[in-house]
Structure 1
Amino acid sequence: MAFSNNVKESILIPGSLPIEILDHVFSYLCHDTKFLHSCLLVNRIWCQHVVGLLWRAPFSIWLEEYKSISLINTYISCMNDEEKSWLKKNGINVSTDTTNPLFNYSSYLKVFDNCGLDMSVKTWFIHSKCISKEKDCLIIDADRRIILSEILYKLFFRQNLEFTQLTFLRKPSIFDIPSPFIFTLHPSLISQLRVLRLNFAYTTESGRFKNLVNLVAILPNLCKKLRELDICLQIIDVNLVADFIQSQENLQDFRLECYSGNIAPAISALQFQSDSLVRVEFSQIQFSGIALDALVLCKNLRILCLIRCKGLTSFTWLPLKKAEFKLQTLYVRECETTQEFLESAIETANYHLNELFMSYSSPKIIESIMKFCPSIKTFEVDIKPSSTNKFLILLTKLVLLERLSVSLLIYDASDFLTTLPNFLPTSLFDLKLEFQNTPRNLVSFLKKCRAPIQILTVFSILGVDNELVGFITKFAKESDTLRKVLINDWSGRKLVFHKYSEVWTTCSLKPRDRINNIRNYQYI
């Protein structure tokens, strides 16, 4: 269909697109703050729509110091004269001469995190004049921190906000929230809540978080439209979790982490969400004598994750053998489980399974995967020496495999790495090798590999040198597929190479990566 010149011009002129289309485009870019900041400068229309995305989720416990200070200063500029005067009366020095902000930034808040707010306030006080020095240490006035936090809460509440995501963290280093009745006075604040995360795993003094505990107790009556519910508790409050589950109208994603307590009533309550549940995750759960019977009714269940759980036996899975759901992702990592449990889970998932993540890999388990799950596209597995031959044969059967992560529980993996290229399927484009390795072995592997690998990640390389870096650079340039290489070496460095920039970058390993390196040195 031909377009008139007028239509073409309206599409090409920035800002002339319909508002609905602009919002749709910007929504895909909400995590790219650098790009969104550039969009602010295009014109006034773009600026008005982008500023809301930039200020919808400002709080994070990982904010850099300068961002936390700027964030609190901006919110203070949005306060009215009465709120600023109250801060000054309590010894909190804020300027009353600042010009009014271009936008009412506090009105855009959609994603709220109490820990992020508290840490930002703490950082702001450290760098403000509200600091007293005692024995060469910076002492923050706790009372004034609480006052500033409460004023910020009031600022948000009077904006008639509608939170879409709420995170409450109980942690010794932060303060309690204001009175929970503030939330009941503004029911619209959380009536449209879609994501709720409660982390009560941290131990604190008795009564320290009285307001937060009281609020959580009434939340099931205030927010009934959750799509995602994430609860982490030291000792499970069965009634609380069950109430949350039962009160929801369309719960799709449920995660429960609990270090002790009887979770059977919480699992039983999942049957009330049988028509909507798509993803279920259990972490740190003791399943001894508890079956996953409530999930039998969840006909739309697609993702099941079990992380660091205990007591997973054939009894746990037995009811699910009759389930009608079509499981696409099965994640069983760092769990105390039996071979029978995994065999049953793999057989139940059958050819619908696209993603499999597992720590246990006996020859019988691998045979079950070959028999029942030929459609796997993503596979992450820890391989024992007794299973390497079966595993290599399995790779030839997974003709749709696209992503593979292999952790080999053996000290000397040179023979395995030499043989591996002969068994990799031609569909593979993302490969992660998590075991002790040497530059020479890696070079040999790359020379033999015929799979069209685009992204290669290698852990625990011993002695990364200029020769290896030069070889990979040359190899990537000549390769038709390889475009990114990530190397975590034993010295604690992370090296990243991008083919199109032809530049290597180096940074320190994150704690989790260091743990992986240490784990890969252990052998059987």
Structure 2
Amino acid sequence: MAYRLPADCLNEIFEYLELDRFTLHSCLLVNHLWCELSVRILWRNTLNIKFDYKHSFKIESSILSTLIACLPNESKKLLHDNKIFISTPTSNPLLFNYASFCKTLSIYEINRMIDSVLKNKPSLDSKYKNSLVANEIIKMFASQISSLKKLTYHHTFYYNLNVSFPHFPGARDLLELCCSSDLSSDFFYQLSQICHNLQSISIDFYDSSTNELKELISSQNNLKNLNLSAFNGSWADIIPSLTKHSHTITKLKLYSDDSNSFSFVSSFPNLQELIISSFDGVFEDFKKLQYVNFSKLQILKIPYECPKPEYLMKFLENNGKSLKKFYIGGSNKALRLSIAKFCPNLKSLFIIFKNGELEVLKTILTSCQYLESIKIWCGKDYLSEKEVLETVAKYSPINFCELKIHHITTNSDASPDDLESFFISWERRTPKKLLSFIIIDDMEIYYGYSFEILEIIEKYEDLGIIEFITKSEEKENEEEEEYYDFN
């Protein structure tokens, strides 16, 4: 008799395969037990996964038809009576109640999926019918999901259907909430009564905050991550509620125009990650923050406009020693040099070097001896790829293993000999480390290298010296966001 692993052991193995959906799909075909265990994982985040655009319509149609098949009979009858006909995947009873497996729920994705699938069936009252389908599916989730972990609920102009959020007992286990401030007060009140263990809250502000939203924030027991975006509203009203969690919040992301204050950041002494984006470029509140000591801060990201260099340099003087990752979209030469002085323990860095600042790059590489990854713009008014390769080969520290080059111009200025010389130098390094050589530009497949250079790259890939990766700028930015969300 063949030996069979127990279900709990198989389940633990399948959990490691969560990101490998291709392998999990193959597990569906082994036997009923494997199918049941893997389908639970596959459906857990189904409404929160980005699919390849080429196949998205087919996949979304399959998901929607399966959800329609899961609806209770009274909901199916309601849709039928309103002349809404969505085919189900089979006329036989479903093997599983797929809706009950979902642990993440996005009202936006439900609306978008319904609109995408039904747009080929236009009618005068299509918006009403789409809302009807969305409401029945959401009601089903509310009754079937026993333990919801993540909820995303935003009003959008395009998919702003007439959706009412039902009583949702499974939301008492909610860990992550992403929402907009202009949702109904009933929604926030309902959550504030049953949901007290949120670890992450993301809010887009389109108006002033309601008392129910403030109460929801205040009622949490262990809030760790906070993400606030305000371009047409203000977060000022909720600051008193936020500061009640001053000792538990470790990750803070702020995106704003010039109407919002950043000074309340000083209330969170245990911050480990801080991301600030201000599109007005003023950052006057940084005048106060420059003197605050965040002894546990490891990640600092300021991707767009930069505070005044003297403010940020003073901030780095107070906090740079603990930083592991620093990402900044704008700066001056003095600020770039201050990184070498105040941030000796960096592992990952993105900063823009201007043309003629090769000595600044050398200083950083020799001063930051724990550096493992750097992202550099090349072309136009920035460093040339040829000189970057030479400098990294000669001065990068022993732990260095990832070079990201963002080509601002279409073609590289490096010759085949320049690339080969760089790879030979890397091959001779001690200790030997595989180098991730990453090229970023506006296209997913990079055409800036000549055929001769691509042959050299392939040669050193085959030798196990480098790993060559191409990314679009959009994909690089998405991966950066995922990194900050995951860690």
TM (norm. structure 2) is 0.83
Contact 2:48 2:105 in 1 (8 A): no
Contact 1:354 1:375 in 2 (8 A): yes
Aligned pairs for 1:437-452 within 5 A: 437-438=411-412, 440-441=414-415, 443-448=417-422, 450-451=425-426, 452=433
**Paired residue secondary structure (2:341):** helix
Structure 1 stretch displaced more, 42-51 or 247-256 = 42-51
2:84 is aligned, of 69, 92, 102, to 92
Structure 1 stretch displaced more, 322-331 or 217-226 = 217-226
Counterparts of 2:306 and 2:150, CA distance in 1: 33
* Residue of structure 2 equivalent to 1:334: 304
Counterparts of 1:43 and 1:466, CA distance in 2: 48
CA drift of 1:106 comes to: 1.5
* Residue of structure 2 equivalent to 1:74: 66
2:337 is aligned, of 367, 379, 396, to 367
* Residue of structure 2 equivalent to 1:205: none
Counterparts of 2:193 and 2:287, CA distance in 1: 33
Counterparts of 1:434 and 1:345, CA distance in 2: 27
Counterparts of 1:332 and 1:427, CA distance in 2: 25
String of CA shifts for 1:361-414, please: whole Å, max 9, x gaps: 433223322222211111111112364322221111111111110125616726
1:120 is aligned, of 110, 113, 118, to 113
- The AA in structure 1 aligned to 2:288 is L
Which sections of structure 2, spanning at least 5 residues, go unmatched?
427-432, 478-487
Contact 1:126 1:140 in 2 (8 A): no
Counterparts of 1:321 and 1:383, CA distance in 2: 26
Counterparts of 2:240 and 2:387, CA distance in 1: 45
Aligned pairs for 1:261-300 within 5 A: 261-286=233-258, 290=261, 292-296=263-267, 298-300=268-270
String of CA shifts for 1:26-69, please: whole Å, max 9, x gaps: 23322322111122233332222221111122225855111111
Counterparts of 2:188 and 2:362, CA distance in 1: 50
* Residue of structure 2 equivalent to 1:179: 164
Alignment coverage as a number of residue pairs: 457
Counterparts of 1:370 and 1:176, CA distance in 2: 52
1:390 is aligned, of 357, 360, 370, to 360
Counterparts of 2:256 and 2:362, CA distance in 1: 32
User: 1:306/1:388 Cα in 2 relative to 1: closer, same or farther (>3 Å)?
Assistant: farther
Counterparts of 1:256 and 1:474, CA distance in 2: 47
Structure 1 stretch displaced more, 380-389 or 304-313 = 304-313
Counterparts of 1:381 and 1:117, CA distance in 2: 39
**Paired residue secondary structure (2:421):** helix
- The AA in structure 2 aligned to 1:469 is L
2:130 maps to 1:145: yes
String of CA shifts for 1:287-311, please: whole Å, max 9, x gaps: 77x4534534x34321111124545
CA drift of 1:464 comes to: 3.1
Contact 1:377 1:403 in 2 (8 A): yes
2:319 is aligned, of 349, 355, 359, to 349
String of CA shifts for 1:1-44, please: whole Å, max 9, x gaps: xxxxxxxx9xx944x2361x433332332232211112223333
Contact 1:78 1:106 in 2 (8 A): yes
2:452 maps to 1:471: no
String of CA shifts for 1:460-489, please: whole Å, max 9, x gaps: 5775332222121123223x4302232xxx
Contact 1:61 1:115 in 2 (8 A): no
Contact 2:313 2:338 in 1 (8 A): yes
Structure 1 stretch displaced more, 37-46 or 50-59 = 37-46
* Residue of structure 2 equivalent to 1:167: 152
Contact 2:434 2:466 in 1 (8 A): yes
1:35 is aligned, of 4, 7, 23, to 23
* Residue of structure 2 equivalent to 1:489: none
Contact 2:188 2:213 in 1 (8 A): no
Contact 1:287 1:309 in 2 (8 A): no
CA drift of 1:140 comes to: 7.1
* Residue of structure 1 equivalent to 2:388: 417
2:401 is aligned, of 429, 434, 439, to 429
Counterparts of 2:357 and 2:440, CA distance in 1: 21
* Residue of structure 2 equivalent to 1:404: 374
2:472 maps to 1:484: no
Contact 2:375 2:403 in 1 (8 A): yes
- The AA in structure 2 aligned to 1:467 is E
* Residue of structure 2 equivalent to 1:106: 99
**Paired residue secondary structure (1:91):** coil
**Paired residue secondary structure (1:158):** helix
Which sections of structure 1, spanning at least 5 residues, go unmatched?
1-8, 133-138, 201-208, 487-493, 495-508, 515-524
CA drift of 1:332 comes to: 1.2
User: 1:281/1:78 Cα in 2 relative to 1: closer, same or farther (>3 Å)?
Assistant: same
Contact 2:176 2:198 in 1 (8 A): yes
2:39 maps to 1:51: yes
Counterparts of 2:59 and 2:101, CA distance in 1: 17
Contact 2:404 2:439 in 1 (8 A): yes
- Greater per-residue strand proportion: 1
Contact 2:385 2:414 in 1 (8 A): no
CA drift of 1:117 comes to: 1.0
- The AA in structure 2 aligned to 1:370 is A
User: 1:85/1:271 Cα in 2 relative to 1: closer, same or farther (>3 Å)?
Assistant: closer
User: 1:69/1:45 Cα in 2 relative to 1: closer, same or farther (>3 Å)?
Assistant: same
Aligned pairs for 1:281-320 within 5 A: 281-286=253-258, 290=261, 292-296=263-267, 298-310=268-280, 313=283, 315-316=285-286, 318=288
Counterparts of 1:238 and 1:320, CA distance in 2: 32
CA drift of 1:190 comes to: 1.4
Contact 2:48 2:104 in 1 (8 A): no
Structure 1 stretch displaced more, 66-75 or 239-248 = 239-248
User: 1:414/1:274 Cα in 2 relative to 1: closer, same or farther (>3 Å)?
Assistant: closer
CA drift of 1:189 comes to: 2.6
- The AA in structure 2 aligned to 1:170 is H
- The AA in structure 2 aligned to 1:444 is D
Kindly name which structure, 1 or 2, has the bigger radius of gyration based on alpha carbons: 1
CA drift of 1:317 comes to: 5.3
Contact 1:61 1:119 in 2 (8 A): no
- The AA in structure 2 aligned to 1:153 is I
- The AA in structure 2 aligned to 1:112 is L
Counterparts of 2:194 and 2:362, CA distance in 1: 53
Contact 1:238 1:262 in 2 (8 A): no
- The AA in structure 2 aligned to 1:413 is S
Structure 1 stretch displaced more, 445-454 or 109-118 = 445-454
* Residue of structure 1 equivalent to 2:57: 65
Q: Displaced runs of 4+ in structure 1, greater than 6 A?
A: none
TM (norm. structure 1) is 0.77
User: 1:244/1:158 Cα in 2 relative to 1: closer, same or farther (>3 Å)?
Assistant: closer
2:175 maps to 1:194: yes
CA root-mean-square deviation: 3.2
